[in-house]
Amino acid sequence: MGLVGRVGRVGRVGLVGLVLILLITMVRAQRPARVDPATPRLAILAAEDRRAPTPGDLLTIRNGTHSGDPETARIAIRALGRLERPELIADIVPGLRHLLPEIRAEAANAIAQAAQGWARDP
């Protein structure tokens, strides 16, 4: 095999490598960025601390209950209970069916705490 045949083969291997690198880069660019779990947790805690006075605050906490991160879901369920609003019990109940016992226990406690709002209603 002459010099031209060797260069051609090396060129094809290099071209295939370049195409693979481009494909990998494109796939990575299309994946959603990972969200630091601390970010939604802090938003939930801040909304709870404000006593969730706005629909946006309440939405932040409700969205947290559906988080794929168990700790975020637990914090959100706890926050709903701490608001002591009986109308939020329906949002807490699905936590009773969670796979993790820690979240089920948090949901049970949150329901009891949310029910405390009935004691204050005239």
Q: What is the pLDDT of residue 30?
A: 67
Following CA atoms 96, 83, 57, 37 in sequence, which dihedral angle do they give, to the nearest 10 degrees? -50
Smallest CA-to-CA distance from 74 within 63, 85, 64 is with 64
Q: What is the pLDDT of residue 122?
A: 59
Q: What is the pLDDT of residue 3?
A: 46
Measure the CA–CA gap between 20 and 117, rounded to whole angstroms.
Answer: 60
Torsion sign across C-alpha atoms 14, 16, 17, 21: positive
- Identify the three-state secondary structure at position 41: helix
Q: Looking at residue 83, what DSSP letter applies?
A: T
Report residue 84 as tokens. Answer: 């002591």
Cα–Cα distances (Å) from 2 to 8, 22, 54, 67, in that order, read 10, 31, 77, 62
Q: What is the pLDDT of residue 37?
A: 80
Q: What is the pLDDT of residue 25?
A: 74
Q: What is the pLDDT of residue 71?
A: 96
Measure the CA–CA gap between 62 and 91, rounded to whole angstroms.
Answer: 7
Domains and CATH numbers, the chain: 38-120 (1.25.10)
Measure the CA–CA gap between 13 and 23, rounded to whole angstroms.
Answer: 15
- For the chain, 122 residues long, the average pLDDT of each consecutive 10-residue run is 53 73 71 77 96 96 96 98 97 97 98 90 59
Q: What is the pLDDT of residue 17?
A: 74
